[in-house]
Amino acid sequence: MQTLILLYYDIGLMVALILLGPFFLAKKKARAGLWQKFAHLPNSFEKSLPARQQTVWLHAVSVGEFTAVLPFIKVFHAHYPNKKIVISTTTETGNKLAQERVGDFASVFYFPFDLSWVIKKVLDIVRPSIVFVAETELWPRFTHECARRNIPLVLLNGRISPRSYQSYKMFSFIFGPMLKSFSLIGTQSKVEAQRYETIAGEKLKVKALGNLKYDKSLSLKVSGQATELKAVQIYFC
């Protein structure tokens, strides 16, 4: 059933992209990173990646999501300076901010469209050892392909609004399996952790870790004492 759902999803997304093509071409902001979103990454980006599967990929849609997880990125880099970090964003403003704030140690690119062939090509290029996703980004094809390749997925600063919660519950047959693909879901509150559990079941690997954006002590705990850092140490220790 999941294979059939993903097939219909691929077809629907492709049709939507074709219909929205004129909009992407007409609007400057929509055109930003369009070539990269179809898996055509710059040669300089590809050359910056290690030969083996040692890249850490963090995705943050735009300015708000990136700002929220920036403390984590800095602590992670301080704790694992030898790990190659790549940051993907969806918007132009998010891309520019990421380059300004972490461009000295991380490579920044645009997140690909969630089409099977696009996702597979980008994953072949990046070869991540782990993927961190900020806040609310759930992409069926990307999640499925990471799970198929046994790439650990971690949701950072997870949140789910009451409105989104109702939609996710309605389509729990789609979102439930997606959430179960995550090795860890770190939420901003216990309420949101319970919402994720209601959608995907009690066996979901979810923990209320607080809001990274307001954890002022996080940047000082490079030794690994921060709860959020402990949550990912199982992959790197």
- The residues that are catalytic are 65
The rounded Cα 31 to chain-centroid distance in angstroms is: 21
The rounded Cα 81 to chain-centroid distance in angstroms is: 20
Gyration radius of the chain over CA positions: 17
Cα separation, 186 vs 155, whole angstroms: 6
**Region of residue 134 (left: phi > 0; alpha: psi -120 to 50; beta: else):** beta
- Counting Cβ atoms within 10 Å, is residue 214 exposed (0-12), middle (13-18) or buried (19+)? exposed
Dihedral sign for Cα atoms in the order 29, 33, 39, 40: positive
Name the nearest CA neighbour of 105 among 80, 130, 129, 124. Answer: 80
Cα separation, 153 vs 130, whole angstroms: 6
Name the nearest CA neighbour of 182 among 128, 137, 143. Answer: 143
Report whether 164 contacts 136 (CB < 8 A). yes
Both structure tokens of 227? 């709860």
